[in-house]
Amino acid sequence: GAGVSQSPSNKVTEKGKDVELRCDPISGHTALYWYRQSLGQGLEFLIYFQGNSAPDKSGLPSDRFSAERTGGSVSTLTIQRTQQEDSAVYLCASSSLGTDYNYGYTFGSGTRLTVV
């Protein structure tokens, strides 16, 4: 597609349930990033995928968080046993090395997760 697509756009879940958030990057972009934006806060790095390399998971806040990227394209961020502090907007971004890198990362519209 023309941009980074994220689904669902909104998700309300009960505390303790698992959730999956999906990101479709721009076709051909080799790098994919997940960030989290809590209410009134800046953006917090979570995880980064680059091609076939091992992902950089150093930003994941706990072992309840995990992410996959299948076939070098679509990524799924999974949060197990959700807690209220997980409520945030989860943003995905993709970028391409080379000339496209000059234009920075392209972000999706995000998934707003609310844990009740």
Partner 1 sequence: AQKVTQAQTEISVVEKEDVTLDCVYETRDTTYYLFWYKQPPSGELVFLIRRNSFDEQNEISGRYSWNFQKSTSSFNFTITASQVVDSAVYFCALSEARETSGSRLTFGEGTQLTVNP
When asked if residue 97 is in the footprint of partner 1 (CB under 8 A), the reply is yes
Query: Within positions 36 to 75, which residues make up the interface with partner 1, using CB under 8 A?
Result: 41-43, 45, 48, 50, 53, 56, 59
Work out whether 110 is an interface residue with partner 1 (CB under 8 A): yes
Examine residue 1 and tell whether it contacts partner 1 (CB under 8 A).
no
DSSP 45-103: EEEEEETTSPPB-TT--STTEEEEEGGGS-EEEEE-S--GGG-EEEEEEEE-SGGGGGG
Q: At 59, which amino acid appears?
A: G
Contact 18, 79 (CB under 8 A): yes
Does position 90 interact with partner 1 (CB under 8 A)? The reply is no
Report whether 76 contacts 48 (CB < 8 A). no
The reply to whether 76 sits near partner 1 by the rule CB under 8 A is: no
Residues interacting with partner 1, by CB under 8 A? 30-31, 33, 35, 41-43, 45, 48, 50, 53, 56, 59, 89, 91, 93, 95, 97-98, 101-110, 112
